[in-house]
Chains A and B, each alone.
Chain A
């Protein structure tokens, strides 16, 4: 089966909204156990690409496979986790109730949920506020709850859209350590970020601009190929090259 060995495989994946091409014939091949960072400015197609991969948007053309199953996936849907860019948590529920809802939707048993909840609340540093209403938490803290909801069922592939936005620098470092641990345990993490300095922690970085992938490789490869010393400069150099 096409793309069976990869976590993600897309071929000429395209999304058009009338005259606007949001994602332009995207070819991606992301191996299992990879920490993949998608970087690019607003409107570059990162979120649209992720939404197509998790089955929320129908592609105009092209194909995509997640864990070897053609998108929209059904068989492996419980093996993926998705954290939308927006808060996307129920603010009128407590942290625990949010997590329990998603655990129920993934049919987790009570014991597994209790263990996993404790573990995740430790990661997002919210053990003490587990019974507090989400509406009473700060913006960054809500983001942490949102991340925990995406990971509650211990998925194999995680799509995290801007997971570190609004999170304070200290906790952000904690998040990245956690992402690295996930990767080391064989999980695949695909995340988008605005913070280009953060993306240097990824195994592979895909740079997107106007719906197209303008560069892809390890951070080092990208910097070397553009003779730059940071990813932001590498992105600017690649953008200039494509425009020319």
Chain B
């Protein structure tokens, strides 16, 4: 394999991009758009969720546990208590409002709430105190935010009054202290964007090479199949890398995303993923007869990657039946590897299995691509 010929092929691909400003714009703006939209859509914590409170608790104001909980909730910004009812007809009214989707939830404290809390804390075998929560379950994110906020308020108020909670779980976070959802999915979006673009560029460029016979022309020169494949891998791997830099810069500037480990190691993971995926594009280009057919492969590759590789939710959330598929998707390992670097701060020692699998995938794709080219003869 001659390096000068590999570089000539890589230069050709990068020069083609340079002349195509629209594609360059797409390559930079698409990942930027992805991280911005995903970041603003999923990245922020839920705030100002509209709720009504019905407080029927008969305890005097200075003793009332419900009043303390309400005050606690009002000092925070997760819930916005739009109205507080103190009469029984408020229960039906607030429930109606939830059903009409005017508010997300209604929180009801019954007449004996403070009394029940006091009894339950003295005698654990008695009836527990209850809070009624009527909630619109359309958005699971809202449901968990409201429930968590309420639990947090209860724990805080009971703690202040020296009521002893029966069981207390105190999490000690080993990694990701202060990590937000965006810190979890930013590495996934980086991998996803690099994967999409390298695959798409490679399959379309190569279908074009075949349909315009420039491939025939290349193969009639001293350049070998291996050199063509390596030249493509180098060019499009670099494109994936540049994109990741765009994403990571945007993620840091816009969302202050967490990077505990070595960012260069995270970029190496992306580069290997990009090389592997461009190889996959290269390989599938031999099945597609034109650009239109090539683009049809995109959803086939994209959807399983988005849904099953742990970009937005953990692999453990993937149904057991589909989980084996997750382990066959290279993005799964790239995302896990990048998370380990960016959030856990791991080095090569920690992510070598992911690096090994991704490298094996990339080599397999490149070798098969070479074989695909040789078969033409």
Using a CB–CB distance below 8 Å, which chain A residues touch chain B?
51, 54-58, 72, 77-78, 80, 82-94, 97, 101-102, 104-107, 133, 149-150
Taking the closest CB of chain B, its distance from the CB of A103, in whole angstroms, is 9
A104 and B5 contacting across the interface, CB-CB below 8 Å: yes
A92 and B213 contacting across the interface, CB-CB below 8 Å: no
Interface size of B by CB at 8 A reads: 24
B19 and A80 contacting across the interface, CB-CB below 8 Å: no
A56 and B220 contacting across the interface, CB-CB below 8 Å: yes
Q: Pick from B7, B16, B20, B221 the residue with the most CB of A within 10 Å.
A: B221
A51 to B214 alpha-carbon distance, docked (Å): 13
B222 and A77 contacting across the interface, CB-CB below 8 Å: yes
Residues of B within 8 A of A88 (CB): 212-214, 216-217
Using a CB–CB distance below 8 Å, which chain B residues touch chain A?
2, 4-5, 7-8, 11-12, 15-16, 19-20, 212-214, 216-223, 376-377
- Specify the main secondary structure of chain B where it touches its partner: helix
B212 and A87 contacting across the interface, CB-CB below 8 Å: yes
Q: Given A72-B377, A84-B217, A88-B217, verify A97-B15 contact (CB < 8 Å).
A: yes
- Specify the main secondary structure of chain A where it touches its partner: loop
Residues of A within 8 A of B19 (CB): 92-94, 133
A92 to B5 alpha-carbon distance, docked (Å): 20
Taking the closest CB of chain A, its distance from the CB of B210, in whole angstroms, is 11
A57 to B8 alpha-carbon distance, docked (Å): 25
Residues of B within 8 A of A133 (CB): 19
B220 and A54 contacting across the interface, CB-CB below 8 Å: yes
A86 and B5 contacting across the interface, CB-CB below 8 Å: no
Taking the closest CB of chain A, its distance from the CB of B300, in whole angstroms, is 27
A101 to B5 alpha-carbon distance, docked (Å): 9
A106 to B41 alpha-carbon distance, docked (Å): 52
Residues of B within 8 A of A78 (CB): 221-222
Q: List 6 A-B contacts (CB under 8 A).
A: A51-B216, A54-B220, A92-B16, A104-B5, A105-B8, A106-B222
A54 to B19 alpha-carbon distance, docked (Å): 31
A93 to B8 alpha-carbon distance, docked (Å): 13
B8 nearest in chain A by CB position: A104
B217 nearest in chain A by CB position: A88
